[in-house]
Chains A and B, each alone.
Chain A
Amino acid sequence: MIRLIAMRELRSLLSMPSTWFVLAALQFIFAWFFLARLEAFLEVQPQLAQLANPPGVTITVAAPLFNTAALLLMMLVPMFTMRLIAEERRNQTLTLLLSAPLSEVHIVLGKFAGLLMFLLLLITTLPLMIGTLALGTHLDLGLLAANCIGLALLTASFIALGLYISALTSQPVIAAIGALAVLAGLWLADIGASDAHSLWHQFSPLYHFQNFNAGLLDSRDAVFFLLFTTVFLLLTIKRLHNNRIYG
Protein backbone atom coordinates (compact mmCIF):
# COMPACT_ATOMS: atom_id res chain seq x y z
CA MET A 1 0.00 0.00 0.00
CA ILE A 2 2.80 2.39 0.91
CA ARG A 3 4.48 1.57 -2.39
CA LEU A 4 1.22 2.08 -4.27
CA ILE A 5 0.76 5.56 -2.86
CA ALA A 6 4.42 6.40 -3.38
CA MET A 7 4.26 5.34 -7.02
CA ARG A 8 1.09 7.35 -7.56
CA GLU A 9 2.80 10.39 -6.07
CA LEU A 10 5.82 9.89 -8.30
CA ARG A 11 3.67 9.43 -11.37
CA SER A 12 1.67 12.58 -10.67
CA LEU A 13 4.91 14.51 -10.18
CA LEU A 14 6.38 13.29 -13.44
CA SER A 15 3.20 14.04 -15.38
CA MET A 16 3.45 17.75 -14.58
CA PRO A 17 5.53 19.96 -16.87
CA SER A 18 6.61 22.16 -13.96
CA THR A 19 8.44 19.21 -12.40
CA TRP A 20 10.53 18.71 -15.49
CA PHE A 21 11.24 22.42 -15.65
CA VAL A 22 12.47 22.47 -12.06
CA LEU A 23 14.53 19.36 -12.70
CA ALA A 24 16.19 20.93 -15.73
CA ALA A 25 16.82 24.28 -14.03
CA LEU A 26 18.29 22.63 -10.99
CA GLN A 27 20.62 20.40 -13.01
CA PHE A 28 21.77 23.48 -14.87
CA ILE A 29 22.57 25.29 -11.63
CA PHE A 30 24.39 22.25 -10.24
CA ALA A 31 26.41 21.84 -13.40
CA TRP A 32 27.24 25.53 -13.56
CA PHE A 33 28.39 25.59 -9.97
CA PHE A 34 30.37 22.39 -10.42
CA LEU A 35 32.22 23.76 -13.44
CA ALA A 36 32.86 27.11 -11.75
CA ARG A 37 34.37 25.39 -8.71
CA LEU A 38 36.41 23.11 -10.93
CA GLU A 39 37.80 26.06 -12.87
CA ALA A 40 38.74 27.86 -9.64
CA PHE A 41 40.44 24.70 -8.43
CA LEU A 42 42.44 24.34 -11.63
CA GLU A 43 43.64 27.93 -11.32
CA VAL A 44 45.00 27.54 -7.80
CA GLN A 45 46.18 23.97 -8.25
CA PRO A 46 49.84 24.88 -9.00
CA GLN A 47 50.06 26.83 -5.74
CA LEU A 48 48.27 24.09 -3.82
CA ALA A 49 50.70 21.52 -5.13
CA GLN A 50 53.53 23.28 -3.28
CA LEU A 51 51.85 22.76 0.11
CA ALA A 52 52.97 19.89 2.30
CA ASN A 53 49.51 18.37 2.63
CA PRO A 54 47.44 19.88 -0.20
CA PRO A 55 43.63 19.76 -0.14
CA GLY A 56 42.33 17.42 -2.84
CA VAL A 57 39.75 17.97 -5.52
CA THR A 58 36.99 16.34 -3.49
CA ILE A 59 37.18 18.78 -0.61
CA THR A 60 37.59 21.84 -2.82
CA VAL A 61 35.01 20.99 -5.46
CA ALA A 62 32.62 18.36 -4.13
CA ALA A 63 32.08 19.68 -0.60
CA PRO A 64 31.05 23.21 -1.67
CA LEU A 65 28.84 21.71 -4.36
CA PHE A 66 27.00 19.59 -1.82
CA ASN A 67 26.73 22.56 0.50
CA THR A 68 25.11 24.63 -2.23
CA ALA A 69 22.80 21.77 -3.09
CA ALA A 70 21.73 21.61 0.58
CA LEU A 71 20.86 25.31 0.57
CA LEU A 72 19.00 25.02 -2.72
CA LEU A 73 17.05 22.03 -1.43
CA MET A 74 16.00 24.03 1.59
CA MET A 75 14.31 26.48 -0.72
CA LEU A 76 13.08 23.90 -3.20
CA VAL A 77 11.65 21.13 -1.03
CA PRO A 78 8.72 23.30 0.18
CA MET A 79 7.70 23.76 -3.46
CA PHE A 80 7.34 20.00 -3.76
CA THR A 81 5.93 19.23 -0.33
CA MET A 82 3.23 21.89 -0.57
CA ARG A 83 1.15 19.73 -2.88
CA LEU A 84 1.36 16.53 -0.90
CA ILE A 85 -1.64 16.93 1.36
CA ALA A 86 -2.84 20.53 0.96
CA GLU A 87 -3.65 20.04 -2.70
CA GLU A 88 -5.34 16.71 -2.10
CA ARG A 89 -7.46 18.43 0.45
CA ARG A 90 -8.28 21.31 -1.86
CA ASN A 91 -9.15 19.02 -4.78
CA GLN A 92 -11.06 16.76 -2.39
CA THR A 93 -9.04 13.74 -3.45
CA LEU A 94 -8.06 13.15 0.15
CA THR A 95 -11.49 11.53 0.59
CA LEU A 96 -10.41 8.75 -1.74
CA LEU A 97 -7.51 7.92 0.54
CA LEU A 98 -9.48 8.38 3.75
CA SER A 99 -12.30 6.11 2.60
CA ALA A 100 -9.91 3.45 1.29
CA PRO A 101 -8.97 0.49 3.47
CA LEU A 102 -5.67 1.90 4.71
CA SER A 103 -4.52 3.82 7.74
CA GLU A 104 -3.04 7.28 8.05
CA VAL A 105 0.36 5.66 8.51
CA HIS A 106 0.18 4.22 5.00
CA ILE A 107 -0.89 7.52 3.51
CA VAL A 108 1.83 9.55 5.22
CA LEU A 109 4.65 7.07 4.65
CA GLY A 110 3.57 6.57 1.04
CA LYS A 111 3.68 10.26 0.30
CA PHE A 112 6.95 10.69 2.14
CA ALA A 113 8.55 7.80 0.28
CA GLY A 114 7.25 8.99 -3.09
CA LEU A 115 8.75 12.44 -2.82
CA LEU A 116 11.95 11.14 -1.22
CA MET A 117 12.48 8.81 -4.18
CA PHE A 118 12.01 11.69 -6.57
CA LEU A 119 14.38 14.04 -4.77
CA LEU A 120 17.01 11.34 -4.31
CA LEU A 121 16.83 10.78 -8.03
CA LEU A 122 17.36 14.49 -8.47
CA ILE A 123 20.47 14.64 -6.28
CA THR A 124 22.08 11.47 -7.62
CA THR A 125 23.42 13.61 -10.44
CA LEU A 126 25.76 15.26 -7.93
CA PRO A 127 27.92 12.17 -7.22
CA LEU A 128 27.73 11.40 -10.95
CA MET A 129 29.18 14.80 -11.84
CA ILE A 130 31.92 14.42 -9.27
CA GLY A 131 32.42 10.85 -10.48
CA THR A 132 33.53 12.13 -13.88
CA LEU A 133 36.61 13.60 -12.16
CA ALA A 134 37.69 10.05 -11.30
CA LEU A 135 38.75 9.76 -14.91
CA GLY A 136 41.66 12.10 -14.32
CA THR A 137 42.34 12.11 -10.61
CA HIS A 138 41.98 10.25 -7.38
CA LEU A 139 38.75 10.94 -5.45
CA ASP A 140 38.22 10.86 -1.70
CA LEU A 141 35.40 8.33 -1.74
CA GLY A 142 34.85 8.49 2.02
CA LEU A 143 34.19 12.20 1.91
CA LEU A 144 31.91 11.75 -1.06
CA ALA A 145 29.94 9.01 0.69
CA ALA A 146 29.57 11.10 3.85
CA ASN A 147 28.22 13.96 1.77
CA CYS A 148 25.78 11.72 -0.05
CA ILE A 149 24.46 10.19 3.19
CA GLY A 150 24.22 13.61 4.79
CA LEU A 151 22.35 15.12 1.87
CA ALA A 152 19.92 12.21 1.75
CA LEU A 153 19.18 12.54 5.47
CA LEU A 154 18.83 16.29 5.13
CA THR A 155 16.37 15.88 2.26
CA ALA A 156 14.33 13.40 4.29
CA SER A 157 14.09 15.82 7.19
CA PHE A 158 13.06 18.70 4.91
CA ILE A 159 10.34 16.55 3.34
CA ALA A 160 8.99 15.45 6.72
CA LEU A 161 8.71 19.05 7.87
CA GLY A 162 7.14 20.18 4.58
CA LEU A 163 4.70 17.26 4.68
CA TYR A 164 3.54 18.23 8.15
CA ILE A 165 2.98 21.85 7.20
CA SER A 166 1.14 20.71 4.09
CA ALA A 167 -1.17 18.69 6.34
CA LEU A 168 -2.08 21.79 8.32
CA THR A 169 -3.75 23.70 5.52
CA SER A 170 -5.77 23.30 2.36
CA GLN A 171 -3.87 26.00 0.49
CA PRO A 172 -0.70 24.72 -1.21
CA VAL A 173 0.80 28.21 -1.36
CA ILE A 174 0.43 28.68 2.37
CA ALA A 175 2.00 25.26 2.89
CA ALA A 176 4.98 26.26 0.72
CA ILE A 177 5.53 29.60 2.40
CA GLY A 178 5.02 28.08 5.84
CA ALA A 179 7.58 25.35 5.26
CA LEU A 180 10.04 27.79 3.74
CA ALA A 181 9.61 30.17 6.67
CA VAL A 182 10.28 27.42 9.22
CA LEU A 183 13.30 26.04 7.35
CA ALA A 184 14.79 29.47 6.70
CA GLY A 185 14.03 30.43 10.31
CA LEU A 186 15.95 27.44 11.64
CA TRP A 187 18.81 28.18 9.30
CA LEU A 188 18.97 31.89 10.21
CA ALA A 189 18.79 31.07 13.92
CA ASP A 190 21.72 28.74 13.36
CA ILE A 191 24.00 31.10 11.46
CA GLY A 192 22.90 34.07 13.55
CA ALA A 193 23.84 32.54 16.90
CA SER A 194 27.38 33.72 17.57
CA ASP A 195 28.07 31.45 20.52
CA ALA A 196 29.46 28.15 19.22
CA HIS A 197 27.59 26.22 21.94
CA SER A 198 24.30 27.99 21.45
CA LEU A 199 21.26 25.73 21.54
CA TRP A 200 20.01 27.27 18.30
CA HIS A 201 22.60 25.33 16.33
CA GLN A 202 21.18 22.09 17.59
CA PHE A 203 17.77 22.68 16.04
CA SER A 204 19.02 23.40 12.55
CA PRO A 205 19.20 20.55 10.02
CA LEU A 206 21.75 22.49 8.01
CA TYR A 207 24.04 22.78 11.05
CA HIS A 208 23.98 19.03 11.46
CA PHE A 209 24.78 18.66 7.79
CA GLN A 210 28.08 20.53 8.24
CA ASN A 211 29.81 17.54 9.81
CA PHE A 212 28.73 15.29 6.95
CA ASN A 213 29.89 17.97 4.57
CA ALA A 214 33.36 17.91 6.10
CA GLY A 215 33.43 14.13 5.86
CA LEU A 216 32.73 13.47 9.52
CA LEU A 217 30.17 10.78 10.29
CA ASP A 218 28.88 11.65 13.73
CA SER A 219 26.12 9.40 15.07
CA ARG A 220 24.64 12.39 16.93
CA ASP A 221 23.96 14.11 13.63
CA ALA A 222 22.46 10.99 12.12
CA VAL A 223 20.24 10.55 15.19
CA PHE A 224 19.16 14.17 14.94
CA PHE A 225 18.00 13.68 11.36
CA LEU A 226 16.18 10.47 12.17
CA LEU A 227 14.46 12.06 15.16
CA PHE A 228 13.56 15.20 13.24
CA THR A 229 12.05 13.15 10.42
CA THR A 230 10.21 10.75 12.70
CA VAL A 231 8.72 13.50 14.85
CA PHE A 232 7.29 15.36 11.87
CA LEU A 233 5.98 12.19 10.26
CA LEU A 234 4.23 11.29 13.51
CA LEU A 235 2.77 14.78 13.76
CA THR A 236 1.47 14.44 10.20
CA ILE A 237 -0.16 11.12 11.00
CA LYS A 238 -1.75 12.70 14.04
CA ARG A 239 -2.96 15.64 11.98
CA LEU A 240 -4.54 13.38 9.38
CA HIS A 241 -6.27 11.42 12.08
CA ASN A 242 -7.64 14.67 13.49
CA ASN A 243 -9.06 15.27 10.06
CA ARG A 244 -11.47 12.43 10.73
CA ILE A 245 -12.34 13.81 14.13
CA TYR A 246 -12.80 17.48 13.36
CA GLY A 247 -13.76 17.21 9.71
Chain B
Amino acid sequence: MSNATTTLSARNLTRRFGNRLIIHDLTLELKRGEVLGLLGHNGAGKSTTLQMLTGCLLPGSGEIDICGISLQKKPALAKAHIGYLPETPPLYRELGVDEYLTFAARLRGMKPSDVNDALTQTIMRCGLESVRKKIISTLSKGYQQRVGIAQAIIHRPAVIILDEPTVGLDPAQIRDIRRLIRELGDTGSVILSTHLLGEVESVCDRVEIMHKGRLIYGDSSQRMKQYGQVTGYTVTLRHPPALSELQAIPGVTSVEQLSGTQFRLLHESGNNPGGLLLSLAAERDWQLEQLTPLSATLEDVFVNITGDETTAPARGTPGGAPLLCSDPSAEEKP
Protein backbone atom coordinates (compact mmCIF):
# COMPACT_ATOMS: atom_id res chain seq x y z
CA MET B 1 0.00 0.00 0.00
CA SER B 2 1.28 3.45 -0.83
CA ASN B 3 -0.08 6.54 0.88
CA ALA B 4 -3.46 5.93 2.39
CA THR B 5 -5.57 8.66 0.81
CA THR B 6 -9.20 7.84 0.39
CA THR B 7 -10.25 7.97 -3.25
CA LEU B 8 -13.84 6.88 -2.87
CA SER B 9 -16.16 6.90 0.04
CA ALA B 10 -19.81 5.98 0.04
CA ARG B 11 -21.90 6.45 3.13
CA ASN B 12 -25.24 4.88 3.96
CA LEU B 13 -26.38 4.29 0.41
CA THR B 14 -29.86 2.94 -0.09
CA ARG B 15 -31.70 2.34 -3.29
CA ARG B 16 -35.21 1.24 -4.11
CA PHE B 17 -36.77 0.05 -7.32
CA GLY B 18 -40.47 0.55 -6.81
CA ASN B 19 -41.24 -0.92 -3.42
CA ARG B 20 -38.28 -3.26 -3.40
CA LEU B 21 -35.31 -2.17 -1.38
CA ILE B 22 -32.32 -3.28 -3.45
CA ILE B 23 -29.46 -1.74 -1.49
CA HIS B 24 -29.60 -1.48 2.28
CA ASP B 25 -27.53 1.14 4.02
CA LEU B 26 -24.27 0.43 2.26
CA THR B 27 -21.03 2.02 3.38
CA LEU B 28 -17.82 1.57 1.47
CA GLU B 29 -14.39 3.12 1.40
CA LEU B 30 -11.53 2.78 -1.02
CA LYS B 31 -7.94 3.92 -0.64
CA ARG B 32 -5.30 4.65 -3.21
CA GLY B 33 -3.31 1.59 -4.14
CA GLU B 34 -6.07 -0.79 -3.23
CA VAL B 35 -8.02 -3.35 -5.24
CA LEU B 36 -11.38 -4.05 -3.67
CA GLY B 37 -13.39 -7.07 -4.70
CA LEU B 38 -17.14 -6.89 -4.43
CA LEU B 39 -18.23 -10.47 -4.21
CA GLY B 40 -21.74 -11.77 -4.40
CA HIS B 41 -24.20 -14.01 -6.15
CA ASN B 42 -26.05 -12.78 -9.21
CA GLY B 43 -28.74 -10.37 -8.11
CA ALA B 44 -27.01 -9.44 -4.86
CA GLY B 45 -26.95 -5.77 -5.90
CA LYS B 46 -23.35 -5.49 -7.06
CA SER B 47 -24.11 -3.86 -10.40
CA THR B 48 -26.63 -1.49 -8.85
CA THR B 49 -24.03 -0.43 -6.31
CA LEU B 50 -21.44 0.19 -8.99
CA GLN B 51 -23.94 2.15 -11.06
CA MET B 52 -24.57 4.40 -8.10
CA LEU B 53 -20.86 4.88 -7.49
CA THR B 54 -20.42 6.03 -11.09
CA GLY B 55 -23.37 8.37 -11.08
CA CYS B 56 -25.40 6.40 -13.62
CA LEU B 57 -28.01 5.84 -10.98
CA LEU B 58 -28.90 8.26 -8.22
CA PRO B 59 -28.96 6.76 -4.74
CA GLY B 60 -32.22 6.97 -2.80
CA SER B 61 -30.27 8.33 0.13
CA GLY B 62 -26.68 8.49 1.25
CA GLU B 63 -23.59 10.28 0.00
CA ILE B 64 -20.78 9.48 -2.35
CA ASP B 65 -17.46 11.32 -2.48
CA ILE B 66 -14.91 10.76 -5.22
CA CYS B 67 -11.47 12.12 -4.26
CA GLY B 68 -13.25 14.32 -1.75
CA ILE B 69 -15.68 15.78 -4.29
CA SER B 70 -19.35 15.10 -3.74
CA LEU B 71 -20.83 13.13 -6.62
CA GLN B 72 -24.28 14.54 -5.99
CA LYS B 73 -23.31 18.17 -5.66
CA LYS B 74 -20.58 18.43 -8.31
CA PRO B 75 -21.19 15.47 -10.60
CA ALA B 76 -19.10 16.75 -13.50
CA LEU B 77 -16.01 17.36 -11.37
CA ALA B 78 -16.31 14.11 -9.47
CA LYS B 79 -16.98 11.95 -12.51
CA ALA B 80 -13.79 13.09 -14.22
CA HIS B 81 -11.95 10.89 -11.68
CA ILE B 82 -13.92 7.76 -12.48
CA GLY B 83 -13.32 5.11 -15.09
CA TYR B 84 -16.18 2.66 -15.45
CA LEU B 85 -16.56 -0.59 -17.30
CA PRO B 86 -20.17 -1.79 -17.06
CA GLU B 87 -21.19 -5.43 -17.43
CA THR B 88 -21.61 -4.97 -21.16
CA PRO B 89 -18.72 -2.87 -22.47
CA PRO B 90 -20.19 0.39 -23.82
CA LEU B 91 -18.70 0.19 -27.31
CA TYR B 92 -19.73 2.07 -30.42
CA ARG B 93 -19.28 -0.91 -32.67
CA GLU B 94 -19.20 1.06 -35.90
CA LEU B 95 -16.11 3.03 -34.83
CA GLY B 96 -12.46 2.02 -35.03
CA VAL B 97 -10.54 1.21 -31.83
CA ASP B 98 -8.34 4.33 -31.95
CA GLU B 99 -11.26 6.53 -32.85
CA TYR B 100 -13.41 5.16 -30.05
CA LEU B 101 -10.71 5.46 -27.40
CA THR B 102 -9.96 9.02 -28.44
CA PHE B 103 -13.64 9.83 -28.09
CA ALA B 104 -13.72 8.21 -24.64
CA ALA B 105 -10.68 10.20 -23.50
CA ARG B 106 -12.07 13.50 -24.76
CA LEU B 107 -15.45 12.71 -23.24
CA ARG B 108 -13.78 12.48 -19.83
CA GLY B 109 -12.38 15.95 -20.33
CA MET B 110 -8.84 15.16 -21.47
CA LYS B 111 -7.08 17.88 -23.42
CA PRO B 112 -6.62 17.07 -27.11
CA SER B 113 -2.86 17.48 -26.71
CA ASP B 114 -2.70 14.82 -23.99
CA VAL B 115 -4.87 12.31 -25.77
CA ASN B 116 -2.24 10.92 -28.10
CA ASP B 117 0.18 9.96 -25.34
CA ALA B 118 -2.58 8.44 -23.25
CA LEU B 119 -3.84 6.54 -26.26
CA THR B 120 -0.48 4.99 -27.08
CA GLN B 121 0.09 4.04 -23.47
CA THR B 122 -3.35 2.53 -22.97
CA ILE B 123 -3.20 0.59 -26.22
CA MET B 124 0.09 -0.90 -25.05
CA ARG B 125 -1.14 -1.70 -21.56
CA CYS B 126 -4.23 -3.47 -22.84
CA GLY B 127 -2.41 -5.31 -25.61
CA LEU B 128 -4.41 -3.73 -28.41
CA GLU B 129 -1.54 -2.82 -30.76
CA SER B 130 -2.55 -5.27 -33.44
CA VAL B 131 -6.16 -4.10 -33.66
CA ARG B 132 -5.78 -0.32 -33.44
CA LYS B 133 -7.19 0.38 -36.88
CA LYS B 134 -9.92 -2.24 -36.82
CA ILE B 135 -13.63 -1.60 -36.50
CA ILE B 136 -14.80 -2.69 -33.05
CA SER B 137 -17.65 -4.86 -34.31
CA THR B 138 -15.13 -7.08 -36.11
CA LEU B 139 -13.16 -7.84 -32.93
CA SER B 140 -13.49 -11.00 -30.86
CA LYS B 141 -15.18 -10.89 -27.48
CA GLY B 142 -11.85 -10.90 -25.66
CA TYR B 143 -10.57 -7.91 -27.58
CA GLN B 144 -13.86 -6.08 -27.16
CA GLN B 145 -13.57 -6.59 -23.42
CA ARG B 146 -10.05 -5.17 -23.53
CA VAL B 147 -11.25 -2.14 -25.45
CA GLY B 148 -13.88 -1.79 -22.73
CA ILE B 149 -11.17 -1.77 -20.07
CA ALA B 150 -9.06 0.60 -22.15
CA GLN B 151 -11.86 3.19 -22.28
CA ALA B 152 -12.15 2.99 -18.49
CA ILE B 153 -8.47 3.71 -17.85
CA ILE B 154 -7.43 5.96 -20.73
CA HIS B 155 -7.97 9.20 -18.81
CA ARG B 156 -5.93 7.86 -15.84
CA PRO B 157 -8.74 8.06 -13.32
CA ALA B 158 -8.16 7.77 -9.58
CA VAL B 159 -11.03 5.33 -9.22
CA ILE B 160 -11.52 2.49 -11.66
CA ILE B 161 -14.75 0.57 -11.42
CA LEU B 162 -14.99 -2.72 -13.26
CA ASP B 163 -18.18 -4.76 -13.35
CA GLU B 164 -17.30 -8.41 -13.89
CA PRO B 165 -14.30 -7.66 -16.10
CA THR B 166 -13.32 -11.24 -16.89
CA VAL B 167 -16.70 -12.71 -17.80
CA GLY B 168 -16.65 -14.59 -21.07
CA LEU B 169 -12.89 -14.58 -21.55
CA ASP B 170 -10.64 -17.57 -22.03
CA PRO B 171 -8.13 -18.53 -19.29
CA ALA B 172 -5.15 -16.84 -20.96
CA GLN B 173 -7.09 -13.61 -21.41
CA ILE B 174 -8.32 -13.80 -17.83
CA ARG B 175 -4.72 -14.05 -16.63
CA ASP B 176 -3.72 -11.02 -18.72
CA ILE B 177 -6.62 -8.94 -17.50
CA ARG B 178 -5.97 -9.86 -13.88
CA ARG B 179 -2.37 -8.84 -14.23
CA LEU B 180 -3.51 -5.55 -15.70
CA ILE B 181 -5.95 -4.98 -12.84
CA ARG B 182 -3.19 -5.69 -10.34
CA GLU B 183 -1.03 -3.10 -12.10
CA LEU B 184 -3.83 -0.55 -12.07
CA GLY B 185 -4.30 -1.14 -8.36
CA ASP B 186 -0.73 -0.12 -7.69
CA THR B 187 -1.16 3.38 -9.08
CA GLY B 188 -4.86 4.08 -8.61
CA SER B 189 -7.63 2.28 -6.85
CA VAL B 190 -9.90 -0.35 -8.30
CA ILE B 191 -13.28 -1.78 -7.39
CA LEU B 192 -14.24 -4.89 -9.23
CA SER B 193 -17.36 -6.94 -8.86
CA THR B 194 -17.29 -10.63 -9.44
CA HIS B 195 -18.89 -13.89 -8.52
CA LEU B 196 -15.60 -15.73 -9.07
CA LEU B 197 -13.83 -16.43 -5.82
CA GLY B 198 -10.55 -17.17 -7.53
CA GLU B 199 -10.52 -13.67 -8.91
CA VAL B 200 -10.74 -12.17 -5.47
CA GLU B 201 -8.00 -14.49 -4.23
CA SER B 202 -5.65 -13.59 -7.05
CA VAL B 203 -6.09 -9.85 -7.51
CA CYS B 204 -7.86 -8.21 -4.59
CA ASP B 205 -6.33 -6.72 -1.47
CA ARG B 206 -9.63 -6.48 0.22
CA VAL B 207 -12.98 -8.09 -0.19
CA GLU B 208 -16.54 -7.11 0.57
CA ILE B 209 -19.18 -9.76 0.36
CA MET B 210 -22.57 -8.62 -0.72
CA HIS B 211 -25.73 -10.55 -0.14
CA LYS B 212 -29.27 -9.37 -0.80
CA GLY B 213 -28.23 -5.73 -0.96
CA ARG B 214 -26.11 -5.68 2.17
CA LEU B 215 -22.43 -5.92 2.80
CA ILE B 216 -22.25 -8.86 5.12
CA TYR B 217 -18.50 -9.29 5.41
CA GLY B 218 -15.47 -7.19 4.72
CA ASP B 219 -11.81 -7.86 5.30
CA SER B 220 -8.52 -8.38 3.54
CA SER B 221 -8.74 -11.35 1.23
CA GLN B 222 -5.84 -13.02 3.08
CA ARG B 223 -7.66 -12.77 6.38
CA MET B 224 -10.82 -13.93 4.81
CA LYS B 225 -9.09 -17.12 3.81
CA GLN B 226 -7.96 -17.63 7.38
CA TYR B 227 -11.41 -16.87 8.65
CA GLY B 228 -12.83 -19.97 7.11
CA GLN B 229 -9.71 -22.06 7.37
CA VAL B 230 -9.92 -25.56 8.76
CA THR B 231 -6.58 -26.79 10.06
CA GLY B 232 -6.03 -30.44 9.41
CA TYR B 233 -4.96 -33.13 6.99
CA THR B 234 -6.37 -35.79 4.80
CA VAL B 235 -4.28 -38.89 5.53
CA THR B 236 -4.14 -42.11 3.56
CA LEU B 237 -2.58 -45.06 5.38
CA ARG B 238 -2.28 -48.48 3.79
CA HIS B 239 -2.24 -50.22 7.17
CA PRO B 240 -4.36 -47.96 9.29
CA PRO B 241 -4.31 -48.31 13.05
CA ALA B 242 -7.36 -48.07 15.28
CA LEU B 243 -9.11 -44.72 15.26
CA SER B 244 -8.28 -44.20 18.92
CA GLU B 245 -4.56 -44.48 18.17
CA LEU B 246 -4.75 -41.51 15.77
CA GLN B 247 -6.95 -39.66 18.20
CA ALA B 248 -4.25 -40.04 20.84
CA ILE B 249 -1.62 -38.09 18.88
CA PRO B 250 -0.95 -34.85 20.78
CA GLY B 251 -2.61 -31.84 19.14
CA VAL B 252 -5.23 -33.79 17.21
CA THR B 253 -8.72 -32.64 18.03
CA SER B 254 -10.79 -35.02 15.96
CA VAL B 255 -10.42 -37.84 13.47
CA GLU B 256 -12.99 -38.93 10.96
CA GLN B 257 -12.72 -42.06 8.83
CA LEU B 258 -13.52 -41.24 5.20
CA SER B 259 -12.91 -44.70 3.75
CA GLY B 260 -11.05 -47.89 4.68
CA THR B 261 -7.66 -46.22 4.43
CA GLN B 262 -8.46 -42.53 4.41
CA PHE B 263 -8.89 -40.27 7.42
CA ARG B 264 -9.66 -36.65 7.99
CA LEU B 265 -7.70 -35.32 10.84
CA LEU B 266 -8.29 -31.94 12.48
CA HIS B 267 -5.81 -30.32 14.81
CA GLU B 268 -5.37 -27.24 16.93
CA SER B 269 -4.20 -24.24 14.96
CA GLY B 270 -1.06 -23.65 17.05
CA ASN B 271 -0.08 -27.27 17.42
CA ASN B 272 0.69 -29.00 14.15
CA PRO B 273 1.06 -32.78 14.56
CA GLY B 274 2.29 -33.31 11.00
CA GLY B 275 5.86 -34.23 11.93
CA LEU B 276 4.76 -36.46 14.76
CA LEU B 277 2.33 -38.23 12.49
CA LEU B 278 5.07 -38.94 9.97
CA SER B 279 7.46 -40.40 12.51
CA LEU B 280 4.70 -42.48 14.13
CA ALA B 281 3.66 -43.79 10.74
CA ALA B 282 7.21 -44.90 10.01
CA GLU B 283 7.70 -46.33 13.49
CA ARG B 284 4.46 -48.34 13.60
CA ASP B 285 4.44 -49.30 9.90
CA TRP B 286 1.12 -47.60 8.97
CA GLN B 287 2.51 -47.20 5.44
CA LEU B 288 1.67 -43.58 4.85
CA GLU B 289 0.64 -42.98 1.26
CA GLN B 290 -0.61 -39.44 1.27
CA LEU B 291 -0.70 -36.47 3.60
CA THR B 292 -2.61 -33.47 2.26
CA PRO B 293 -3.23 -30.34 4.33
CA LEU B 294 -6.86 -29.19 4.30
CA SER B 295 -7.32 -25.64 3.11
CA ALA B 296 -10.58 -23.83 2.86
CA THR B 297 -11.17 -21.95 -0.33
CA LEU B 298 -12.98 -18.66 -0.49
CA GLU B 299 -15.91 -20.69 -1.66
CA ASP B 300 -16.19 -22.31 1.76
CA VAL B 301 -15.98 -18.95 3.45
CA PHE B 302 -18.52 -17.51 1.09
CA VAL B 303 -20.96 -20.34 1.64
CA ASN B 304 -20.40 -20.15 5.39
CA ILE B 305 -21.10 -16.47 5.53
CA THR B 306 -23.99 -16.25 3.11
CA GLY B 307 -25.45 -19.46 4.48
CA ASP B 308 -25.87 -18.28 8.07
CA GLU B 309 -26.73 -14.73 7.18
CA THR B 310 -30.10 -15.40 8.81
CA THR B 311 -28.56 -15.64 12.25
CA ALA B 312 -26.62 -12.40 12.31
CA PRO B 313 -24.90 -10.05 9.89
CA ALA B 314 -21.44 -11.40 10.65
CA ARG B 315 -18.62 -9.00 10.05
CA GLY B 316 -14.90 -9.50 10.11
CA THR B 317 -13.84 -6.65 12.31
CA PRO B 318 -10.15 -7.20 12.95
CA GLY B 319 -7.73 -5.15 10.87
CA GLY B 320 -8.67 -3.95 7.41
CA ALA B 321 -10.23 -0.63 6.63
CA PRO B 322 -12.96 0.89 8.74
CA LEU B 323 -16.13 -0.88 7.85
CA LEU B 324 -19.57 -0.37 9.20
CA CYS B 325 -21.98 -3.04 10.15
CA SER B 326 -25.13 -3.22 8.16
CA ASP B 327 -27.79 -2.20 10.55
CA PRO B 328 -30.81 -4.51 10.62
CA SER B 329 -33.07 -1.55 11.31
CA ALA B 330 -32.07 -0.05 7.96
CA GLU B 331 -34.77 -2.07 6.30
CA GLU B 332 -37.42 0.11 7.85
CA LYS B 333 -35.83 3.28 6.51
CA PRO B 334 -37.61 4.87 3.55
Contact = CB atoms under 8 A, between A and B. Distances in A.
Contact of B107 (A11, A91, A102): A102
Nearest to A96: B90
A103 interface: yes
A239 to B, nearest CB: 15
B80 A91 contact: no
A114 to B, nearest CB: 13
A11 B106 CA distance: 15
B328 interface: no
A98 B99 CA distance: 20
A244 interface: yes
B92 A93 contact: yes
* Most chain A beta-carbon contacts within 10 A, residue among B17, B51, B77, B107: B107
A12 interface: yes
Interface string B76-96: 111110101011101111110
Interface residues of B, number: 34
Nearest to B78: A101
Interface residues of A, number: 25
Interface centre among B92, B93, B135 (most CB of A within 10 A): B92
A53 B77 CA distance: 65
B84 A99 contact: yes
A44 interface: no
A99 B55 contact: yes
B73 to A, nearest CB: 13
A15 B55 contact: no
Most chain A CB within 10 A, of B75, B78, B86, B95, is at B86
A11 B48 CA distance: 32
Given A93-B90, A244-B56, A244-B57, 17 more contacts: A11-B95, A15-B95, A95-B51, A95-B56, A95-B86, A96-B104, A98-B55, A98-B56, A99-B54, A99-B55, A99-B79, A99-B84, A101-B76, A101-B79, A101-B108, A102-B76, A244-B55
